Amino acid sequence: MAKEPRAWQRMLSGRRLDLLDPTPVDIEIEDIAHGLAFVARWNGQTFGDFPYSVAEHSLLVEQILGRLQPKAPVRWRLAALLHDAPEYVIGDMISPVKAAVGPGYGELEARLAAAIHLRFGLPATLPATVKKQIKRADRISAWLEATQIAGFSQVEANRFFGRPRPEQIEGLRIALRPPVEVRAAYTARHAALIAAL
């Protein structure tokens, strides 16, 4: 009889997260912040002395959402901060790889996102309008990353991500930080949003 493959990961908090059937009780923000601070976006193909992490990207997306939707409820700002949270255990795949892997990746990501959302008081599935707003902020973030640290020209970034309006990106500069600093910033921002709910 073939042995079932292991489908859980032990987290630094001591939790065992079942990747195929995740539950909110096994989700800890410290695990998310730690994992995301060590996951590099752009497959690590960025300029600088530190990788540009998913945690740093998530902080930027939440900030951009605040610019796009100044009156957005705090819970949707929290959703923006957590928009890539499943990547703390499944990593960040660039879009071409996701397309090649197929729908299984998206299903796994959706199950993890639902458990994470429930853990922090959000609906398992976000309203379509909120997802659209977060995706818009995500694309603006991708444009900034592409042009500032990933070697894209503005023309190329405009083609892939759309050209943001000047007021959406004014003053936003990407500064790479060590993972320990990004982890602390992510955890602190999460705590501030939770306190404001």
**In which residue are the tokens 């990547």 written?**
87
The answer as to whether 41 is a domain residue is yes
The answer as to whether 149 is a domain residue is yes
**Residue 10 confidence (pLDDT) above 70:** yes
Q: What pLDDT score was predicted for residue 142?
A: 98
φ, ψ for residue 8, nearest 5 deg:
-120, 160
d(CA 189, CA 187): 6
d(CA 90, CA 141): 21
Give the domain extent around 44: 26-196
Q: What angle do CA 111, 180, 92 make, to 5 degrees?
A: 35
CB 40 within 8 A of CB 176: no
pLDDT in tens, 105-121: 889 999 999 999 999 99
The answer as to whether 32 is a domain residue is yes
CB 141 within 8 A of CB 15: no
d(CA 85, CA 31): 10
In the chain, how many domains are there? 1
* pTM summary value: 0.95
**In the Cβ-directed half-sphere of 114, how many Cα atoms lie within 13 Å?**
13
Of the candidates 123, 115, 105, the residue with the CA atom closest to the CA atom of residue 18 = 115
The answer as to whether 62 is a domain residue is yes
Q: Distances in Å between the alpha carbon of 130 and those of 64, 75, 76, 135, 137?
A: 14, 10, 7, 8, 11
DSSP character for 92?
-
Kindly report the CATH number assigned to the domain that includes residue 161.
1.10.3210.10
Q: What pLDDT score was predicted for residue 178?
A: 97
The answer as to whether 11 is a domain residue is no
The answer as to whether 4 is a domain residue is no
The answer as to whether 101 is a domain residue is yes
pLDDT band at 1 (very low <50, low <70, confident <90, very high): low
